[in-house]
Structure 1
Amino acid sequence: MAAANHKDEAYLATVIPKRIQLFETIKAQQNLHRLSLLSDPIKITLPDGKVKEGKRWATSPLDVAKEISKSLAANSLISEVNGVLWDMTRPLEGDCELKLFTFENDEGRDTFWHSSAHILGQALEVEYGCKLCIGPCTTRGEGFYYDAFYGDLGLNEDHFKKIEAAATKAAGERQPFERIEVTREQALELFADNSFKANKTITVYRCGPLVDLCRGPHIPNTSVVKAFACLKASSAYWRGNKDRESLQRVYGISYPDKKRLEVISPNMYNMQLWETSGHAANYKENMFVFEIEKQEFGLKPMNCPGHCLMFQHRVRSYRELPLRLADFGVLHRNEASGALTGLTRVRRFQQGFHMSVTILWREYYARALDIIVDSDKFSSNVLQDDAHIFCRESQIKEEVRGVLEFVKYCYDIFGFTFDLKLSTRPEKYLGELATWEKAEAALTEALNEFGKPWQMNEGDGAFYGPKIDISVSDALNRKFQCATLQLDFQLPARFELYYSAEDEAKREAPVMIHRAVLGSVERMFAILLEHYKGKWPFWLSPRQAIVCPVSEKSQQYALQVRDQIHNAGYYVDADTSDRKIQKKVREAQLAQYNYILVVGEEEANTGQVSVRVRNANDHSVMGIDGLLAHFKAETDAFH
């Protein structure tokens, strides 16, 4: 059996439409049959004992949820009818006991991820014309996967961007999950082109172009999936038999809320946690410590111990590694007052690209985040700044090199150069000497393969492991410490972290990589202020343009121009004050607007603007379309 290694237009034009047509024909026949049945009254008993009335073959669990409340209807993903899981949109067939489940319930989560697997399958089939096999939620209880046959195409992370885009498109189309019952003969006809689907399943579901054999049940429609990410691709055998076809498995994760793709840990922990991690003995003087009900607590100065607890909370498999966790939590460190310096060293700070950190940061950094997230080179699930990567020893070099490449990519966006230093074992350290030597050797090898010059910084490593320190240089060649990459064999040992190896009877300890790109939002913001001297480049500026009408006569046109530029996605203001035009232009220059757009009666009549560039006296006249094209070119030019 062959499969195309690119989008198979013939497959999309023939097989999928034919399958949809057969599905719709069977569905129409079954709907006609149901119309012939009497819609007898039925009683629907809820968990609290209340009884709702409905009609047989007409009332669905979703109808019942809507009758109770709009929020319940919006959040209910699946129901249980007389002990059997049931689609929310599937009509009830008689008197029943009804339960409703949301994402907070195991039944709701499993159904959500099972449905997300169908969305993933749709993306894979549409993009690559592959032969889909099976797509369940994972047995470990988080996420899902889909096996498929691709012929000679080898999937990897480079394909994830396209897969995620197709999945997001499917979610945006609000495709309903529709169910029909089929005979074995009908199933064989539906999937005549795919021998992997020849089984005894007697129900078929459709969402958009995907028609798939499936027992179900499913969520009401694809729009419930608000966040979707591919995690990794691996090889598998059909039915687990190494003598059968070689398949490829794509793992994914999804959530009904984008925020759930972050992890967020508590701001304070009992000091027992910091004793386990070693921070109580080695870092306590830098922590804010207090007592609650005769127990000692500490505000977290870093996220790593919390992430260890997340790794530890259930059995992990080698297939999950590398596991990357990113945290947007606020950190507190009890810095000496003499060490505090503006925004570069503070007692409360935040690590991460989170868009709600502060209004000030969001205004200035929103565009940089958008550019990085939209990059084809890096998947969005590894973009958050403060992260911990749990991996196998054999994966260290690849993960470290990937972090270094990501640091280079981010710093290139801002025009930074950077230096690398390998900081080795300090006098006060945890663990065995042999472990330290192994960790330092792994970082040395990764640095050499990265190909950029680096220096040795003897004795300046963290107490739990060696690290690579990265200092950036701004436009005046001033150096600032920002990014860091720390290898840690100690915390996994102290928290007794393990994962099951290929041999399920064997357990191995993961290696933990601490990774930060910005260092902190506050410090990076301060560095950018110094680097650009307050004159933000157009692509990053929160004050990209301002429209200044010459007089009240051209004010309406000025507002029209402002709206056009705003609708095109740029930051733009309008000065509608009664000041003289010379004063407006001068104020706009002092406020560092990149472009000052002057409009008078002549511009209003011709549909143009007079364009002045920041810190330049000359000006030019442009049409709105030409101006927007210029803005786009300038935004795109930096990368």
Structure 2
Amino acid sequence: MKQRALSLSKTLLLSHNSKGLPAIRCISTKEAIDRRHHLFDLEKKRQLENIGRIEKIEVNYKGVPNDCTLIMNKDISTPYDCARHLGEWHTESSALALLDGTVYWDMHRPLTENCTLELQRFNIAEPQQVNKAFWRTCSLVLGACATVAFKDSVPVHLHSFPGPDIRSGSFIYDIDLPTLPDWKPTPQELHTLSAEYVQLCRKQLPIERLDVSQELALEMFVDNQHKAKQIPSIAKATGKVSLYKVDKFVDISKGPLISNTAQIGRVAVTSVHALTGSPDSEVKKLYRFQGVALPTGVILNHFAFSILTERAKKLNSARSPINPFADQSNPAHESIAARA
């Protein structure tokens, strides 16, 4: 990859003065990532310590090899913990949990009450929600890779990714690169991004979820002006913001996401398109990073995957926060406030 697109980027840490205006100082992307990761772990530890007396719940598992009842710990045990009681195959293949036949639940999210549990895999009869969780996860991981792909001198500000739409043919992440107004990635740069993506997936990282207060979310993303502005709208309904952590990378998503990066199989970052805003838009330009992936275990020959790759190179017309020409008619596309 070219000199400009290697190593880490710089980001900005914002603190508010008495007039409410941001005072800006530069920190490296690694420092920003480490800071969010540290705050995430501290909050997770605090929430666990606040549980107090451990209560038991009944989890009625339905599925192979046999239905059974598991006695688990309220607010501590997760569907993944339940899967561990059933066997290694269940932990590796289960991407999502279905509670009481209606609620889709992250595999690493603690269970809060008695429930019926079904484990969802990619080959189930009705995989729509699992596929959406997979696509949503691919977007979040794309943001993680793009964050660390650029050199020190290139600020990288993640903006957002629209809701998953499998029919579009690509997962996406819209990113602000303020010092690269006319960047057109070379094939080698795209290949390097893909390699970064594959490397992250091969680490077989669990994808953790944590619901935090609006105040803590703002503190965690004080270095990112785009996400800081989105957080109040995200928290408006419940006062909470759902965070996900992959390795040390923390991002915002309403979820649910799949269980582990090892469940992302063949993948390619296919293209980057410039999105230009209207003259009165606060953000003049975003870059839409696009990619395509298959779940682990789904096998396609090189020719078939190349067809998917070519399709994923075309500009995805999902709703854009700054592009008035994006497709606004598709109800599958979620608003920025709703998040990905």
TM-score (norm 2): 0.70
Q: Secondary structure at the match of 2:37?
A: helix
Q: What is the one-letter code of the residue matched to 1:133?
A: H
Instruction: Tell me by how many angstroms 1:91 deviates.
Output: 2.1
In structure 2, do the counterparts of structure 1 residues 163 and 176 end up closer, same or farther at CA, with 3 Å as the change threshold? same
1:194 alignment counterpart: 224
1:148 alignment counterpart: 175
In structure 2, do the counterparts of structure 1 residues 220 and 140 end up closer, same or farther at CA, with 3 Å as the change threshold? closer
1:47–1:97 Cα contact (<8 Å) kept = no
Quote the Cα distance in structure 2 between the aligned partners of 1:324 and 1:156.
19
Q: Deviations over 1:442-494 (max 9, x none)?
A: xxxxxxxxxxxxxxxxxxxxxxxxxxxxxxxxxxxxxxxxxxxxxxxxxxxxx
1:11 alignment counterpart: 28
Instruction: Tell me by how many angstroms 1:241 deviates.
Output: 9.4
Moved >4 Å (runs of 4+): 388-392, 501-505
User: 1:44 aligned to 30, 53, 60, which one?
Assistant: 60
User: 2:83 aligned to 65, 70, 78, which one?
Assistant: 65
Q: Secondary structure at the match of 1:260?
A: coil
User: 2:208 aligned to 178, 184, 187, which one?
Assistant: 178
Quote the Cα distance in structure 2 between the aligned partners of 1:125 and 1:156.
15
Quote the Cα distance in structure 2 between the aligned partners of 1:79 and 1:151.
40
2:118 counterpart of 1:99: yes
Q: Which runs of 5+ in 2 are unaligned?
A: 11-26, 236-240, 316-324, 330-340
Q: What is the one-letter code of the residue matched to 1:325?
A: I
Identity of aligned pairs, percent? Answer: 22
2:192 alignment counterpart: 162
Q: Which structure is richer in relative contact order (CA contacts within 8 A, separation 6 or more)?
A: 2
Quote the Cα distance in structure 2 between the aligned partners of 1:67 and 1:30.
25
User: 1:31 aligned to 48, 52, 65, which one?
Assistant: 48
Quote the Cα distance in structure 2 between the aligned partners of 1:165 and 1:263.
17
Q: Secondary structure at the match of 1:91?
A: coil
2:333 alignment counterpart: none
Quote the Cα distance in structure 2 between the aligned partners of 1:117 and 1:109.
13
Quote the Cα distance in structure 2 between the aligned partners of 1:324 and 1:264.
5
Q: Secondary structure at the match of 2:197?
A: helix
Matches within 5 A, 1:407-486: none
Instruction: Tell me by how many angstroms 1:259 deviates.
Output: 5.8
Instruction: Tell me by how many angstroms 1:247 deviates.
Output: 0.6
In structure 2, do the counterparts of structure 1 residues 157 and 217 end up closer, same or farther at CA, with 3 Å as the change threshold? farther
Instruction: Tell me by how many angstroms 1:252 deviates.
Output: 1.0
Instruction: Tell me by how many angstroms 1:156 deviates.
Output: 2.5
1:117–1:137 Cα contact (<8 Å) kept = no
Q: Secondary structure at the match of 2:28?
A: helix
2:160 counterpart of 1:134: yes
User: 2:93 aligned to 69, 75, 84, which one?
Assistant: 75
Instruction: Tell me by how many angstroms 1:51 deviates.
Output: 4.2
Q: Deviations over 1:586-610 (max 9, x none)?
A: xxxxxxxxxxxxxxxxxxxxxxxxx
In structure 2, do the counterparts of structure 1 residues 133 and 257 end up closer, same or farther at CA, with 3 Å as the change threshold? same
Instruction: Tell me by how many angstroms 1:12 deviates.
Output: 2.7
Q: Which runs of 5+ in 1 are unaligned?
A: 266-322, 327-380, 383-387, 393-500, 506-639
In structure 2, do the counterparts of structure 1 residues 254 and 5 end up closer, same or farther at CA, with 3 Å as the change threshold? closer
1:89 alignment counterpart: 108
1:110 alignment counterpart: 132
Matches within 5 A, 1:262-273: 262=301
Instruction: Tell me by how many angstroms 1:149 deviates.
Output: 0.3
Number of residue pairs matched by the alignment: 276
Q: Secondary structure at the match of 1:133?
A: strand
Quote the Cα distance in structure 2 between the aligned partners of 1:18 and 1:223.
25
Q: What is the one-letter code of the residue matched to 1:252?
A: G
Quote the Cα distance in structure 2 between the aligned partners of 1:103 and 1:52.
24
Quote the Cα distance in structure 1 between the aligned partners of 2:209 and 2:249.
12
In structure 2, do the counterparts of structure 1 residues 95 and 208 end up closer, same or farther at CA, with 3 Å as the change threshold? same
Q: What is the one-letter code of the residue matched to 2:307?
A: L
For the aligned residues, what is the CA RMSD? 3.5
TM-score (norm 1): 0.39
Instruction: Tell me by how many angstroms 1:236 deviates.
Output: 2.9
Matches within 5 A, 1:49-448: 50-55=67-72, 56-82=74-100, 83-104=102-123, 105-128=127-150, 129-136=155-162, 138-141=164-167, 142-153=169-180, 154-158=183-187, 159-198=189-228, 199=231, 200-201=234-235, 202-236=241-275, 243-245=281-283, 246-257=285-296, 260-262=299-301, 325=307
Q: Deviations over 1:18-53 (max 9, x none)?
A: 12111111111112123x142323242527994422
Q: Secondary structure at the match of 2:259?
A: coil
In structure 2, do the counterparts of structure 1 residues 165 and 178 end up closer, same or farther at CA, with 3 Å as the change threshold? same
Instruction: Tell me by how many angstroms 1:248 deviates.
Output: 0.7
Structure with max Cα Rg: 1
Q: What is the one-letter code of the residue matched to 1:57?
A: D
1:155–1:233 Cα contact (<8 Å) kept = yes
